[in-house]
Structure 1
Amino acid sequence: MTSPAGLGILVGIDGSPESHAAVRWAADEAVLRHRPVTLMHVVSPIIASWSIEAVLSDYQVWQEDHADNVIARTLDTLRTAVPGSPPDVRVERRHGGPVAELTAASADADLIVLGSRGLGPVGAAVLGSVSRALLHHAGCPVVLVREGVVRSTDRGLPVVLGIDGSPASEAATAFAFDEASRRGVDLVALHAWSDVAVFPFLGMDWHQFEEQGHEVLAERLAGWQERYPDVTIRRRVVCDKPARWLIDESNQSQLVVVGSRGRGGISGMLLGSVSTSVAESARAPVAVIRA
């Protein structure tokens, strides 16, 4: 799943609580993968309409001082997260648009880890503008981490996978098995045979649909189970909106893995409604995998 070169685990940092949560998760992941961590702080360009030279000069100095402070505090967070065997750490400071810089860097990374929200005027949004944009455009898997969702009791909890058989779902399956194997935990594979809430109709044989769902799930997982015999699979088949069940399962998991777009009418979107809902509301870190 990883390449021998490149940036390893790339983390976008801005000093926000979510950013520090992302760094702690990334540090553990780097140890599992035996990969370096690259911390990247992007100094945004000054607005061109500002014309007072002295103000601009002072602001540039403040930006660089602020960047120094963010990087120093982030390094402290990373060292505290894995005090015994910290990964190799690289620090990059770039000047430009955060989305453009992080997107370009992601092409040379194993995965990119971001806080689900950041600082700035959109920081209070459910998904920050930078994290939302990277879900659409990153050149590698994206992991979003919310403050408070990584708990010390999580280590024995399973990895949860949403699977529907689409190309994005297949890529997510590969990622989820690899993560479960590295962490030595079970994999909960959830398949929903309907993308909308379904209520029993007169004469509707739910058991027939349930059996078909298990057959689909078994077929999709068979090859991966052979490749990862150390991973115990727990299968879940539901007749309801998959996002609702994935969010519910996230309360008892250490990572939720979804594809970036799936079957049905939303398949042409760069980010499907299921992955959006899970990324916004899950109570565990969420990995979004593009096909």
Structure 2
Amino acid sequence: MSTRIVHHGVVFGADGSAASRGAVRWAAREAVMRHTRLAIVHVADSISVPASTLAWPGGRVPDEMFEMRENDARNVIAEAISAAQGAVAGERPEIDSELLFGRPVPSLVDLSKDAQMVVVGRRGRTGRHQRLLGSVSSGLIHHAHCPVAVINDEDSSLSPSSARLPVLVGVDGSQDSESALAMAFDEASWRGVDLVALRVLWNADVSLFGMEWADLRRVAEKTLAESIAAWKCRYPEVNVRVVVEFEDPARRLLEQSETAQLVVVGNRGRGAVAEMFLGSVSSALAKDAPTPVLVARQR
């Protein structure tokens, strides 16, 4: 039976899609690594009674329709629980479940206020265009109150061949990227893998600081090394590789993500222009990256 969840660990938004069934396995592993509970939540669209009554004699929707709707929703939860229980060899996450009726994005955004992380598949049941980011995942990476993990449709990050790949974090010197760096160190430490810190400079950086590319690169490398040194004191077991390049950030992060098991990015940059740009970077990664993407949203 589903119970009302008050305090969340990792929240997983289940929708019964193929992407969702794969993503719940990633969420289960994340919950185990964090030593927290996994909350599997399905938000079913409410039947619009005023509109639906037009199709029924007497203007009343049969009770069987509501029962079927609820049974289908509970089957989605049951399938997700089954997948989660078999996701981590030797250790099962503690699982709660909850069935809600309403709109998925507002409901999950509300739950995110009291969650460590929200996990969703890249596209849901209604995703018709494979090149588009799903409305739920897109809504969450822009409005959630906690970090959001978007898992691609054919996630291979749980395969043995991916287990030793590094965690990749995109940094730009902003406070938001510092939060992303902190999360990336956590994720790399839990997984026992290296961390690649990628600082991609772009035209706006050159214009903003009025420096030659070579000088700007030296400054960026020094600043990033200083930032990482502070975190290395807390995570001495994590080996870090610093990379500073001049290119389109979204393109370079996408290319680098092909050799990573997880990409971590912030969702805001320095200033209004950078904030808008970094938002587009996180959306591009969530849409196209071949590996899970963790967007470091803050409360």
TM-score by structure 1 length? 0.89
Pairing 1:15-164 to 2, within 5 Å after superposition: 15-47=16-48, 48-51=50-53, 52=56, 53=59, 55=61, 57-120=63-126, 124=130, 126-151=132-157, 152=159, 153-164=161-172
CA distance in 2, matches of 1:59, 1:128: 27
Give 3-state SS (helix, strand or coil) of 2:15's partner. Answer: coil
Deviation at 1:241, TM superposition (A): 1.1
Aligned mate of 1:187, from 195, 211, 214 = 195
Deviations 1:144-172, CA, capped at 9 Å, x for gaps:
00122224111111000000011211111
> 1:19 corresponds to which letter in structure 2?
S
> 1:242 corresponds to which letter in structure 2?
P
Compared CA separation, residues 56 and 234, structure 1 to 2 (3 A): farther
Deviation at 1:216, TM superposition (A): 2.2
Contact 2:113 2:146 in 1 (8 A): yes
CA distance in 2, matches of 1:263, 1:276: 17
Give 3-state SS (helix, strand or coil) of 2:52's partner. Answer: coil
Contact 2:131 2:287 in 1 (8 A): no
CA distance in 2, matches of 1:110, 1:117: 22
Q: How many residues align?
A: 282
TM-score by structure 2 length? 0.87
Deviation at 1:62, TM superposition (A): 2.2
Q: Which runs of 5+ in 1 are unaligned?
A: 199-203
Aligned mate of 2:264, from 225, 250, 257 = 257
Match of 1:201 in 2: none
**Greater alpha carbon shift after TM alignment, 64-73 vs 135-144:** 64-73
Give 3-state SS (helix, strand or coil) of 1:94's partner. Answer: strand
Aligned mate of 1:175, from 173, 177, 183 = 183
> 1:116 corresponds to which letter in structure 2?
R
Aligned mate of 2:295, from 273, 285, 288 = 288
CA distance in 2, matches of 1:116, 1:17: 10
More helix by share: 2
CA distance in 2, matches of 1:116, 1:197: 31
Deviations 1:76-112, CA, capped at 9 Å, x for gaps:
2112212421010111111111112111111111100
Give 3-state SS (helix, strand or coil) of 1:50's partner. Answer: helix
CA distance in 2, matches of 1:83, 1:186: 23
Deviations 1:50-79, CA, capped at 9 Å, x for gaps:
223554644322211211221221122112
Aligned mate of 1:211, from 209, 218, 221 = 218
CA distance in 2, matches of 1:121, 1:158: 30
